[in-house]
Amino acid sequence: MNNHKVRRALFSVSEKRGCEAFARALSAMGVEILATGGTRKLIADAGIPVREVSEVTGFPEMMDGRVKTLHPKIHGGLLALRDEPTHMAAMEEHGIGPIDLACVNLYPFEETIAKGGVDRSEAIEQIDIGGPTMVRSAAKNHAFVAIVTNPNDYGRVERDMKSNDGAVSDLLRRELAQKAFALTALYDTSVAGWLFGQERSEENPFPSSYSLAGRRYEKELRYGENSHQKAAFYRTAQLGTSVASAKFLGGKDLSYNNFVDLDAALGLALEFEEPFCCVIKHTNPCGAACAATLAAALESAWSGDPLSAFGSVLAFNRPVDKACAEFLTGGNRFVEAIIAPSFAEDAEEQLRTGAKWGKNVRMLACGSVGPAHRPELEYEVKHLRDGFLVQERDRAVETRDDFDCVTETRPTTEQETELLFANLITKHVKSNAIVLVKGTRVLGVGAGQMSRVDSVKLAVEKAGDEVLGSVLGSDAFFPFPDGVETAMDAGVAAILQPGGSIRDKQVVAVCNERKVPMVFTGHRHFRH
């Protein structure tokens, strides 16, 4: 172990939480403290001895604070190898004192751009230069220097020093260095992403390099997809209406699958303006409905497939009220998790106390939900071995203007409304996706089948007798007439699909024989 005692520390922080107490503790241990601008004032006002960095460098802060720590007397003190004679000689020759601990965090760039509508020049000024440079210098030289970037670590460092006669242990310095480089990676990723977003165009939709960075979710995940797998969730800097930014109101700890299902549920709820509820099982909607009230939407969504709904995840686009809570806690119903804009106090109480599973159900409040609360641009990332894919999220929303009626019989106005609803649902169903709808209620879903005919059969089976007079939405074209024939044999009254098969004419012909209207949208909605 390197028992190098901390004799001088540098403070330069934007987030000042805990800074005063940490500086006081170090000073009490005999550590000389240097600090910049506002940090120095905070420490000095607390009656703690502190020197201004400009006293050490011989240069004042200048250019509106852009230049203050970029100086050999700072970085030489951070980077010098204490066991390298030439480094020590250079320090002595140039009057550079060693800095053994750096307490640094960065300008609030992420918080600034998160405000929305921020002026470009304001955002640019929140790009920290001196801070990351000090962080990286100290972290590189972690064999001799402790770099503390998170106020949550102040107490640990203080206790470690007290246990090691004023030195920071090797193990902790290594851990702090890793955290420091992770911080600068996240910071640079945020800056690069924002700058690209400012210049993005149809001709240049993706950056030349794409970085993923995030902060680990503070609550530990119960496990991964299976109980023998460990997992963690990381929040990115871009937090809109999402599971990542939602407030966890309690219940069992979230697992990997909970996050995946909640994200799928919220994604579907974000499509709708009207009171809406969806019931998600293994990322697929087994029930979904719009209605005049949220409770009516919930009841309709649940009735789409009550068997599959047991142990499901729910999403709402309105605050959950007492009527919804009473429905869920009545009968033999059980849900794993619920995400909604908010929960009425009496609804939350009912859910917690009105069912055996109530104390365990995970409730997340995510703020406003609806089409207006989706960001203008969303990327999806899918990891592969040794790489990952990035694409724009499927935001296409077809309207009646996109309908190309390819049959002799045209859909009624009511059927067009139903087909639009079915089409929105298919976007969120694993391919091959078939969705049967009546009104604004899902009756049956065929998801993830290798054959589109099998997806039709599964959706028909789920719909039962209600299939008569229903409409069908398909995420992709029917390669053969057999899928359409199966649907019409069961009683489907109108069909929507993107079209594009070399056998489209054959498929249309069998619809004309039965006088069943079919519309093409021209847009496929695969979801793998």
Q: Catalytic: 457?
A: no
- In the three-class reduction of DSSP (H, G, I as helix; E, B as strand; rest coil), residue 381 is classed as strand
Half-sphere exposure of 338 (CA within 13 A, CB side): 30
Q: What is the DSSP letter of 466?
A: G
Ramachandran angles phi, psi of 299, nearest 5°: -60, -40
What are the beta bridge partners of residue 519?
Answer: 405, 496
Query: E strands of 105-161, at which residues?
Result: 146-148
Residue owning tokens 């935001």? 395
Q: How far is CA 515 from CA 171, 413, 417, 521, in A?
A: 75, 16, 19, 19
Burial of 285 (0-12, 13-18, 19+ CB in 10 A): buried
| Number of neighbours of residue 260 by Cβ within 10 angstroms | 16
Distance separating the N- and C-terminal Cα atoms of the chain? 51
Q: Which residue is catalytic, options 5, 16, 87, 140?
A: 140
Angstrom distance (rounded) from CA 437 to CA 443? 5
Question: Is 282 assigned a catalytic role?
Answer: yes
Q: Compute the half-sphere exposure of residue 294: CA atoms within 13 Å on the CB side of its CA.
A: 22
> What is d(CA 513, CA 505) in angstroms, rounded to the nearest whole number?
12
Residue type, 505: K
What secondary structure letter does DSSP report for 343? B
Q: Which amino acid is at 464?
A: G
**Active-site residue, from 252, 282, 322, 373:** 282
C-alpha–C-alpha distance, residues 476 and 433, integer Å:
8
Coil, strand or helix at 315? strand
The number of beta carbons lying within 10 Å of the beta carbon of residue 381 is: 11
Structure token pair of residue 483: 């899928």
Residue 522's SS3 state is: coil
* Residues designated catalytic: 140, 282
